[in-house]
Amino acid sequence: MPDTHGHNPLDLPSRPRRNRRTPAIRGLVRETHLSAAHLVYPLFVHEGGDEPIDAMPGQTRWSLAGLVAEAERAHALGVPAVVLFPKVAASLKTPGGEEAHNPEGLIPRAVAALKQALPGLCVITDVALDPYSSDGHDGIVNDAGVVDNDASVAALVRQALSHAAAGADVVSPSDMMDGRVGAIRSALDDAGYTDTGIMSYTAKYASACYGPFRGALDSAPRPASGGRHIPADKATYQMDPANAREALRELDLDVQEGADIVLVKPAGPYLDVVHRVRCATDLPVAAYQVSGEYVMIKSAAAAGHLDERAMVLETLMGIRRAGADLVLTYFAPQAAAWLAE
């Protein structure tokens, strides 16, 4: 019979739009949920005063006091975790990155300050040598001009131990050296840090999306450093953007070596990899919405081409929908505030 508008209805066995008809119904059948509890806030810290980062509008290199205040602000909004990245003075950078495991260094002091001020905050530290290396690589470049895997792992172990000693809840090796998760797990356990977790960068791609981050930390490779041959990029250890199956090989190794959380970086261009990893493991999966993704959204919003709030929440939901349990994002406090409204 005709409907209320006098039209004869189509003979349809199913009408999916019924489940979209009202906000209440849409909420009842929503498959993916996003909350502040899923977010990790990356924070930059340096020696000196708080200063804006030109390469990343809206982000700041924090002093230790500023870092604590910003973490308190984010935590009050419901963000449960931060991950720390240091901008190290050039005078402290060496080919071996020895400052990375200085127990009185910037990151151990930052961890201690955060844990004193916010005992309930989950503090994650980045484990890699590039902020400390005069060569700008995540590992140690040997005399042959090659990033030496095993020598780098030994240095990364010392770095992770210094972070654990300072009170880090989770150490996060982002270097992509072979075997580093197992070596760090063994060293942490031997030193009594059995409760310190490892969030491994399982699939970190050699992406063009890292430029603003490297500008924030002054951590790009320096091919002409000291007249030595230094690799111009990180393609010999970060993954080829063309590969997805390789991520599952890396995943298998990280699981065997004792990772507690596995991570895919970047997030947006690699949602297929996030989903593959999610389907292949029962471990928590993280994804990092990196600096390039952040700047693209900020720039387009500043130019009036899109709505920043809508775009941020949509991209974060997409990362969650792909299978990420937690999302590292520079938008964490803004997103938490928006989600609370």
- What are the residue numbers of the active site? 204, 265
Burial 90-109 (b: 16+ CB within 10 A, else e): eebbebbbbbbbbeebbbbb
* Residue 250 φ then ψ, to 5°: -65, -40
Q: Which of 286, 239, 238 shows the shortest CA–CA distance to 263?
A: 286
64 by DSSP, 3-state: which?
Answer: helix
**What would the two tokens of residue 121 be?**
């905050």
Which amino acid type is present at position 300? A
Measured in residues, the chain has a length of: 341
- Tokens 């005399």, located at residue: 143
Contact between 56 and 295 under an 8 Å Cβ cutoff? The reply is yes
Q: Which of 309, 317, 315 shows the shortest CA–CA distance to 334?
A: 309
Q: How far is residue 66's CA from residue 310's CA, in Å, rounded to a whole number?
A: 29
* Residue 142 φ then ψ, to 5°: -85, -175
Which amino acid type is present at position 47? E
Task: List Cα–Cα distances, 164 to 102, 150, 244, in angstroms.
Answer: 12, 21, 32
- Tokens 């990029």, located at residue: 233
Q: Which of 27, 61, 24 shows the shortest CA–CA distance to 42?
A: 61
What secondary structure letter does DSSP report for 8? P
Q: Which of 177, 187, 60 shows the shortest CA–CA distance to 130?
A: 177
Q: How far is residue 228's CA from residue 302's CA, in Å, rounded to a whole number?
A: 42
Neighbours of 22 (CB within 10 A): 10
